[in-house]
Every structure is written in structure tokens, then in C-alpha cells.
Chains A and B, each alone.
Chain A
Amino acid sequence: MSGSPPPSPSLAANPRLSEWLDFSVDAVVTIRPGKVEYGQGVWTALAQIAAEELDVGLDQVLVAGVSTSSSPDEGVTSGSRSIEDCGGALRQVCAQVRAAFLAETAEKLGVDAAGLGVERGAVRTPGGQAGLTYWSLDEAALLDRAAQLTAAAKSPAQWSVAGRSAPRIDLPDKATGRPRFLHDLVLPGMLFGRVIRPPAPAATLDGVGEADLPAGVVVQVRDGSFLGVIAESDRDAVTAAERLARAARWTVRESLPDEDDLKGFLLSQPTEDQPVVQRPDTEAAARVERTCAAEYTRPFIAHGSMAPSCAIARWDGDQVSVWTHSQGVFPLRGALAHGLGLDPAQVTVRHVEGAGVYGHNASDDAAADAVLLAREVPGRPVRVMWSRPDELSWGPLGPAMLARLSAGLGTGGRIQTWRQDVWSNGFVGRPGIGGEPRLLALSHIAGGTPISAAPDGVPSGAMGATRNAVPAYDIPDLEVTRHRLLTMPLRTSSLRSLGAFLNVFAIESFMDELALAAGADPVGFRLAHLSDPRARRVIEEAAAMSGWAARPREGDRAGGTGFGLAFARYKGTSGYCAAVAEVAADTSISLRRLWLAVDVGRVINPDGVMNQVEGGAIQSASWALRERVRFDRTRITSVTWESYPILRFTEVPEVAVRIVAAPGEPETGAGELAQGPVAGAIGNAVADAVGVRVRDLPLTTEQVTRAIEQS
């Protein structure tokens, strides 16, 4: 029940009710989330929460775009926290507003508030409508007050708008091509900028020769190794950028590792080593009868958003306005101000939707590009769009990782000891982190700030490379250690699920290897080490959905078919997910089907959850089966969709998702929890199909063949 929930951290930071909503438009409630929409459907779910608690129609809720000038500061929209943080804040705020509205109405009417209700924003008395609405009261009196936690929000049993699959409010625009994305925004007098990036991460601009530039070019911009151009049309800007790229002279140095020896790279760099968990149990260690060990790796992975990053900036005197599809307008404002020596009050950052976002991509960098270029043409907005090759090579990457695992089994195949060591670059490299701007252009300008090796947050098992590095299983003797690289030849930062993708792949692959060693069924082996009933339930559900017990086994199945299961509780504290994969291994590996069971606590929009889980599953499958950033010793070479292939329509599996009901539990995010379990399930299915364990991602035909040859 929702008696006295803990205050949402977002509400604690932004405690005025008026920061979250207003009634300025008749018959419309405008809500102001500090979390942005990027295709995950969160605005629809937030509107449902507000409509539910205020007792207005979902059609009466308008969601205001996020801006540093008018929105509550909720930091970055990341970590699958929007429903918990922003939804939690809106629920409390709206419940309080409704209660205050009823109290004031009751006083006006001289009746007991308990006998009143609200319907589509109008008070309903036992005798009918009283002509009083949210819009007829003094808005300032209603909203200009601090949030309190006294008004109880509704319990899920009372919900009529939340908890149901409301259609996404943004889809009609997207199906009909109406302007909705930042890429569609045209401001009066807008100019078009392009940036000519260095040919390699370690490169210095020596000079720019003569170039025949189109007549529409307004100005060429050079500052250190930052080279850009502004033109009257994007076409002219693109042409000019191509010609300037040919005319530019760079000193290029080799700075990248051997792409075919990522393990060697990870193990040879200086690291900061920190314990994540140290729980020695000498009695358990003494019960070990046999030990197993294995190493698992993932390569660098690109975000690969369908739209190249885009931004618009305009300087008016010493004030600059920025339009961006960044995940965090407030941190971006701080980083821009810091990097340019401005007061944050001089910078206004507005969010406009871009294409799908899966972590810290190049959107913030595009904003910095636009700010630097627009400074040359005061009063004129300048739009900067990146090229596809720049998007795939200059945006931050998800880091390569190595997980080294060992475990000791005792009598009856019980796990007694577990060691896990994780090597990785940091995942926490967003703008402003560690007191650095961490914006690409600001690292290229003369006297700019180089981007240092990304931090990784607290080694807690929930953050950075250690996310899900702590197994959820009942293991007495446990030690987990993080080794964060202190060099960063390729720039890394947050990518969907952070370290969980590799950690869960490693843990769940290893669990199957241990089950094999113990002569146990993978499902039974996991259940024997899991006391959390919610964890057990999703595993049992996924097994039932896939017909696990009756799956074709070696000997009686068509050649090359394999089944695998994997499980994780995201971050160790969030949503539960179990996945089963069916693969066919012939001349290549094809993923036929995925079944997923998830428990994300109470659910605001069931179809929204399913859509996120399906999408996460397919993206994870693409990472696990195909994706690997390619490079030589100087530069990234996977700069097109041919050299960086992702799963296509003819390659994606059928995905079945079931939500395990848990209405009494707090809601958790659903956007990232499938990444690890799907990779683990595919890995286990491949091992089941080919009879050999493949421990290095991606599970391409090449890697599988290599593993077979080495077995």
C-alpha cells in the first residue's frame, strides 16, 4: 500500500508544487517533468500518474518540454529511474494538490471534504457538480506551497487510468511524419553548422590549406584542433566541410589498442582496484571439493542511434540558448557554463526530442559544437548535425570489459565460494562528471580541457562497471573486485545497463558451466541457490513460457538447436528478469525465439513495459550476436552500418514478454533489465547447441568457430 512512501529524491530537490504543474490553460493540466522523452514512452506513463492522482482525463494532461528555465532539476534521464523518481514526485504532488483542492472546496461549500470527489478536474458533490474546478480556484494559493507527504496517494486497487495500457501520446505524430524531432526544428534566421573532426582520437590540426568553399558559407571557424563551418544551408555546410576536411593537415598518432587482443589491453593498463564485496567465509571455503574458473569479455559497443546527433544554439549578448536532445539539460548547462567560463544563469538549455537514446551518446557534444559555432554569428541560431561516420566514431562508447570468475563447489553441487574480478574503463563520463566539462569540442579547442579516463561511480554492484557484478545467488564466501582503467584510448561512458550486460552474461554463463560440472539442470541449479521468491518466480515463469522442461534435448532434437536460460535482478535492487533463448546453429548462429518474464513491481503502463522489455531484448541480442566497434591503431574503422552491423528484420527473434504481477511492490524501471539476461540466455543456448562454451562477445560465427577450434 502507499501509506507513507519515502519522498522522491526529485521532490526533495524541487519541493514547490508549482514547479511540477500548473492550471494556466483552461481544462488542461500542464505537468512539468524533469525527465525527458526519447522514445521510451515515459511521458505517457507520467501523464497517466498525474491524471490518476488528480482525477482528470488523460486527454486533459499536457506534458511540457524539459528546460532549465522552467522545469524541476531531475538531473539525467537515465538508469531506468524516471518512473520511480519523476513518477514518484508527480504522484505525491498531484495527490496533495487534489487533497488541497478538495479541502478548499469543502470550506467554500461548507461541507465535509470526505463527501466530495473529482471528475475530469471538477468537484463532484453528492448532489452533482458544484461548478468548481481546478481552473476556477486561485492557482497561486493552490500551488505556491511546499510539498508535504501528508496526502495519501491512491493504492493500485483504486487506479482507473494508471495500471492500464494507454496508447503513447507521441505516436500519431511519428506515424504521420509531423515535425517532432529536434532535427525538424527550424528557427527564424537559422544557419547551418558542420564540424570537421580530426581523423583520429590522437590528432592535432597543423593547418588548413586553401579550399574552394560554396558561396553560401558565412564563416569558417578554427580554434586549436576544432574546425567548423557555418553556411546559409545545410547542403552548403556539408559541401564546405567535405572540402575543408581535404584541405586540413593533421598530425596523427597511433593511440589505440589491438582490436584483436582486448583482454591483453585491459590487463596491461594501470588500474584503480577497489573491492565491491568482501565476505570471506572460511568454513564455506573449507567445504570446496572442486573449483572452476573462466573469463568472459565484451568489445567496445556503439550507441548507434538512428539519427545523428543534432543541436541548435543562439547567442544573444552574453546569453546563450541551446536546443538539444541531451538526457540531462541541467548537467549540460553546468558543463557548458564551466567550460566556457560563464555563469549557469547565462545558459538556457531546452530539450527537444531526438531519436532513441540508450545512454550518454553524442547529443551533448553536438550542443557544445553548436554553442561554439553560434558564438561567431551573434543573434543567429546555428544548427549543427553530425554525420553518420562521426556519430559511430566520435560519440562515447560502451567500454570493452573482462570478467574473470572462479567458484568452488561443495557436496551436492552447492556453490561455496565465488570470486569475480572486472576490468573496464569507466561508465560514468557524462558532462560535468568529476568537475570536467567532458564535451568533445571543448577538448579540441586551444587550451581546452582533455577528457580524462571516465570515473565509474561507487563500486557498489549497482553502478558503473560493477553493475550486477555481485551475483544474486546464495553464496557464502564472496569477493568481487573492480579494476577501473586509468587510461582511456577510446572515450567511454554510459551505455544501457552499464556493466550489467557483461557481468550478467559472465555470471549466467558461469552458472551453466557450474551446473554442468555439478550434473544439475540449469533451472534447478539456479533455484537451489535462490531464496528470493520474486527471483524464483520469474525463472519459473520464463521456464514455463518456453516449455523448458519439455525442450528438445541432445540426442532427440534436430541438429544445432539449443536452449539457454539466464536471470538477473537489475542493479541487485531493481526489476527482476529471466530470459530463455532458442538458437539454431548451422553455418551461422541464428536466434529464433526469446521468452522473458519480468517483475517490475506495480506497473503504470503494461504495454509500455512490454515495449521497453521487447526493445531491450532485441537490442541486447544485437549486441550479443553482432556488435563490435572496429579500429586500427589510429582510428575507429566501423563508421557505417555495413562495418557496424546491427540485427535486421530478417534476423530478429520472436520475443514473448510476460509481466509477473507484483502490485504490492514499488515500481522499478523496465528499460534496461533485459540487457544482461538476454545475453546470458543466448550464450547458454549457443553452448547448448554447439556443445562448446563461447566466452567472448559478440557470438559471431567467427568467434564460435574459434571457440570450437580451441576446445
Chain B
Amino acid sequence: MATVNIRATVNGAERVIECEPDAPLLDVLRQDLGLSGPRFGCGVGLCGACFVLIGGRARSSCDFPAWAAGGQDITTVEGLLYEGTMHPVQQAVVDEQAAQCGYCTSGMIMSAVALLRANPAPTAAEVRSALDGNLCRCGSHQRIVRAVLRAAAQGTDVQDTGVRQEEAR
């Protein structure tokens, strides 16, 4: 199949990627851009391991065609780091020891970041609802909910990288 050039912003940087138009965005991120944070879990958008932010919304990248990513602002879990410092949600995951195998962790962090941008002070039930598209097989659910609530409890001065990048531009 003929390749096309896809122009998108990935973790704050303008990128031009040559790929097949129907290649899954996940493949582009992992194989072409060398980002290991988004993970392959099921390939059909049912597990959440590959979640990234596309235009600020958390969604699966395994079933998102590369052509549709053109012109989009895409953030992966790597893009949440700010000058080497973890995003408050990432830090809260470590502080709460909110993982076992950690394979699903980056996707969950993306869902949590999207939630906190829209709703900075969620209830536990709202956190659970926001993470319902993310599966965890090890059973770390309640620690992850605690981590998201912990990040939220840091209040309105919780800065996430996406916001800081926008300010910097």
C-alpha cells in the first residue's frame, strides 16, 4: 500500500511520519517513533493498554488509523513528564504503589489525566467510571483509584504537562 506523510504533534513536538494511511496509530507511536509507553493489549480498543490523549481525550490508539491522526495533538505517557519530573498522576501511582505488572498502567494514567483536566475534583465513583475502559488483570484497581484521588487532592495547582506545553507555546 502506498504510504502517506502524516503531520501531527506528538508530546509537544511537530512530527512528520511516513506510513500506510490505515496503519494503527499505536504501531506508528511504538514502531516509528520508538515510544514504548502505549502498549498493545487487544488490538480492537477493548482493554485500554494503548490509551493516549488525542486532542485531550483519552482513547485507544490500536484501532485509531494513522490518517485520522493528521493535525492532531497527541500525548503519550512519556509526554506527561516535564523536565524529567513525573506528572502528579504518575507520581501518585508510584506513591500509592498502584500497580503490579504495570502493563496497563500507562493507559490508565492517560484516562486519569483526561479525567482530571475535565473534572479536577472527582469522586471515587467518577474515577471508577472514567477508568472503566481500562482493564487490569492483576487486581490493582483500588490502588489506582486511590492514586487518582491523591493526585486530585493536590488541588487546583496541579499542573499537568499538556497545560504547561500549551502555556509555553
With the chains together, A354 CA to B77 CA distance in Å?
Answer: 19
Chain B residues touching A, majority SS: loop
In contact, A614 and B40 (Cβ under 8 angstroms): no
Indicate if the CB atoms of B132 and A171 lie closer than 8 Å: no
Determine whether the beta carbon of B39 is less than 8 Å from that of A183.
yes
User: Residue B134 at the A interface, CB < 8 A?
Assistant: yes
CB <8 Å contact, B99 and A175: yes
The 5 A-B residue pairs with the shortest CB-CB distance, nearest first, are A177-B37, A39-B101, A174-B102, A618-B139, A615-B139
Q: Are B100 and A39 in contact (CB under 8 A)?
A: yes
Compute how far the CA of A373 lies from the CA of B137 in the bound complex, rounded to whole angstroms.
30
Q: List the A side residues contacting B43 at CB < 8 Å.
A: 387-388
Q: Which residues of chain B have C-beta atoms less than 8 A from A308's C-beta?
A: 40-41
Are B139's CB and A616's CB within 8 A? yes
**Which positions 105-153 of chain B face chain A at CB distance < 8 Å?**
105-106, 109, 127-129, 131-132, 134-145
Chain A 288-325 interface mask (CB, 8 Å, partner B; 1/0): 00000000000000001111100000000000000000
Return chain B residues, CB-CB under 8 Å to A607: 97
Q: Does A355 contact B (CB under 8 A)?
A: yes
Contact of A170 among B23, B44, B90, B102 (CB under 8 A): B102
Structural contact, B137 and A184, CB atoms closer than 8 A: no
| 0 or 1 for each of B20-46: is its CB under 8 Å from A? (1 = yes) | 100100010001000111111111101
B residues within 8 A CB of A234?
Answer: 27, 31
Our pick among A173, A179, A355, A387 for the contact of B101 (Cβ within 8 Å) is A355
Query: B6 within 8 Å of A by Cβ?
Result: no
Q: Which residues of B contact A305 (CB under 8 A)?
A: 101, 103, 137
Taking the closest CB of chain B, its distance from the CB of A242, in whole angstroms, is: 11
Residue from A38, A165, A306 whose CB has the most chain B CB atoms within 10 Å? A306
Q: Whole-angstrom distance from the CB of A565 to the nearest CB of chain B?
A: 20
> Is B137 a contact partner of A167 (Cβ separation < 8 A)?
no
Q: Cβ of A388 and Cβ of B139 under 8 Å apart?
A: no
CB-contact partner of B100 in A304, A307, A611, A650, under 8 A:
A611
- Residue A619 at the B interface, CB < 8 A? yes
Interface assignment of B10: CB less than 8 Å from any CB of chain A: no
Judge whether B135 and A611 touch: CB under 8 Å.
no
Residues of A within 8 A of B46 (CB): 640-642
Residues of chain A contacted by B160 (CB below 8 angstroms): none
Do residues A304 and B134 form an inter-chain contact, with CB atoms below 8 A?
no
Check A614–B132 contact: CB distance below 8 A: no
For A178, A181, A355, A358, the residue with the greatest tally of chain B CB atoms inside 10 Å of its CB is A355
Q: Which residues of A contact B76 (CB under 8 A)?
A: 177
Q: Nearest Cβ distance between residue A676 and chain B, in whole angstroms?
A: 15
Of chain A, the residue at the smallest CB distance from B47 is A641
Q: How large is the interface on B (under 10, 10 to 19, 20 to 34, 35 or more residues)?
A: 35 or more
- State whether A655 touches B104 (Cβ < 8 A): no
Once the chains are docked, how many angstroms separate the CA of A354 from the CA of B100? 11
A611 to B134, CA, bound (A): 19
- Contact in complex: A176, B77 (CB < 8 Å): yes
Which residues of chain A are near B41, meaning CB under 8 Å?
A: 306-308, 388
B131 CB contacts on chain A under 8 angstroms: 649
When the two chains form their complex, are residues A171 and B142 in contact, meaning their CB atoms are under 8 A apart? no
Interface centre among A307, A642, A655 (most CB of B within 10 A): A307
> Does B31 lie within 8 Å of A40, measured CB to CB?
no
Q: Is B49 an interface residue (CB 8 A)?
A: yes
- Are B132 and A306 in contact, CB atoms less than 8 angstroms apart? no
Partner of B138 from the list A167, A178, A356 (CB cut-off 8 Å) is A356
B4 is an interface residue with CB less than 8 A from chain A: no
Interface 1/0s, chain A 641-659, versus B by CB < 8 A?
1100010111010110000
Q: Which of chain A's residues have a CB closer than 8 A to the CB of B100? A: 39-41, 356, 611-612, 615
Contact A652 B141 (CB under 8 A): yes
Q: Are A619 and B44 in contact (CB under 8 A)?
A: no
Docked Cα-Cα span, A304 to B76, in Å, equals: 25
Are A652 and B44 in touch, CB under 8 angstroms? no
- Residues in B whose Cβ lies below 8 Å from that of A618: 139, 141-142
